[in-house]
Amino acid sequence: MEFQVRAFLGAFLILSMVENYWGFTNVYPKMKGYPLGIEEDVGNPLFLTPYIESGKIEEAKKAASVIHTEMKDVRSYSGYLTVDKKLNSNMFFWFFPARVDQKSAPVVLWLQGGPGATSLYGLFTENGPFMVTKKLTLAMRKYTWSINHNLLYIDNPVGTGYSFTEHSEGYARNETDVGENLHRALVQFFQLFHELQPNDFFVTGESYAGKYVPALAYTIHTKKDTSPVKINLKGLAIGNGLTDPIHQLNYGDYLYQLGLIDFNGLEQFHVYQKRGIDFISQSKYDEAFQVFNQLINGDLDTTPSLFQNLTGFNFYFNYLKTQDSNESQWVAEWIQKADVRKSIHVGNCSFNFEATIVEDHLKTDITRSEADKVAILAQHYRTLIYNGQLDIIVAYPLTENYLMNLQWPGAEAYKKAARTKWIVDGEIAGYAKTAGNLIEVLVRNAGHMVPGDQPKWALDLITRFTSGKPI
């Protein structure tokens, strides 16, 4: 399943990929590595924590400023925030101040899925200010979220993308670890950009970030009275997110309705699904994953999954497409260039597409649920759960099923909520249901990566959400 969307870049990605790894199928494209030349000037990694701790804030900002000829007048800042000194665990961030009204614009954190997918995938292919062209040059994205949001990307968990640790103990084993490390990074971010501390803050992401987002938001919520920096959390938004596997794995009925499997195939899916759900119910999470590897994933051995055998599909995130575009390869090559490394202050640090190591440490997390955290958070903060209509790996009916089973005070109101049309410039962009703080949205004609497939509508959606306007 996509849920283990591994970091999609990595200096030695192809060389480090192996057939038998733990995790869901990588819906983010497998990228080539682009080793550096021996004499290329990549600069040095910028570790900002010592500046922050010594109060050298302006000096830190100046050092973190990103200057690159192709980025023109777009301001941004990047570098490393140390989240564990003992283990030398460091998280890479890239921050883009809002183009409009930066002083009061919401701060939006974007997290990619995986486990192990770099958030730079979202930056360059979904909602950031830039795209990479076929000629390996930058072009401006018209519908970037940074127009009216202070937009922050963090490579998460440690070991993903440019984030790294020097010890195996530094890798996250569960969502508590994920939430704690991200919280430590955010505290430093808001110390560095202290002028943004009063601004509304939103945690957003897609896919396996359906676990990361509530994990971080819950950590912020529980530490609101003890955190060294007050983080003004206002809401969370999850796109096509894996959050509650036991209620999100009924692929058979969905694929049957699409016509991708027949009745005989449906019966085979039901057998696997029941077995996997039984394992989850018994807290046998490794066994549950192995069942679903056989069902839809197919990554643990060379034998194709049942899904692959019955459909011939290897592409899980838009049932209208059979393969990805080349855009991701262009991004992979551009982001690993020496001049780019120097500009974003990562030096010669590896672009860890050994995200297999991130997955391996989170293998017992894959089929666990974070629904309990969503249930608590939805009582206190605006909570947006949106889904692309055309996704397979986290299909809309699967997400709706988990929401229908969510145990929270607004459960009955959600079940009875009327569905309304969401209109953007006269077009039906999708449909929405609201119950208390919870908003559920179907985005029409979009697959797994909604901002990439429908950028205009995605910008409208996030803007309405962060501004508190109805959808």
Q: Which residues are catalytic?
A: 207, 391, 448
What does 368-381 look like in DSSP terms, one character per residue? ---HHHHHHHTTTS
**What is the enclosing helix (H) or strand (E) of 237?**
strand 233-239
Residue that the structure tokens 């994920």 belong to: 178
- Please say whether the beta carbons of 280 and 288 come within 8 A: yes
Report helix, strand and coil shares of the chain as percent, to nearest 5: 40, 15, 45
Q: Taking the C-alpha atoms of 283, 242, 271 and 285 in order, what is their torsion angle to the nearest 10 degrees?
A: -20
Q: What is the 3-state secondary structure (H, E, C) of 240-287?
A: CCCCCHHHCCCHHHHHHHHCCCCHHHHHHHHHHHHHHHHHHHCCCHHH
CA atoms within 13 A on the CB side of 94: 29
Do β-strands 89-96 and 107-111 pair in parallel, antiparallel, or remain unpaired?
Answer: unpaired
Give the whole-angstrom CA distance, residue 246 versus residue 274.
10
Amino acid identity for residue 257 in this structure: Q
Nearest to 276 by CA among 308, 251, 253: 251
User: What's the token pair of residue 173?
Assistant: 């084993």
Distances (CA, A) of 390 to 67, 254, 318: 38, 11, 5
Give the three-class secondary structure for 110. Answer: strand
Backbone angles phi, psi at 81, to 5 degrees: -115, 120
User: What's the token pair of residue 178?
Assistant: 């994920």
Give the whole-angstrom CA distance, residue 76 versus residue 401.
40
Give the whole-angstrom CA distance, residue 194 versus residue 52.
11
Partners of 47 in beta bridges: 80
**What is the enclosing helix (H) or strand (E) of 79?**
strand 77-84
Those residues whose C-beta lies under 8 Å from the C-beta of residue 130, and which sit 6 or more positions away, are 71, 74, 123, 124, 138, 139, 140, 141
Backbone angles phi, psi at 212, to 5 degrees: -60, -45
Give the whole-angstrom CA distance, residue 33 versus residue 344.
18
Residue that the structure tokens 């010592």 belong to: 50
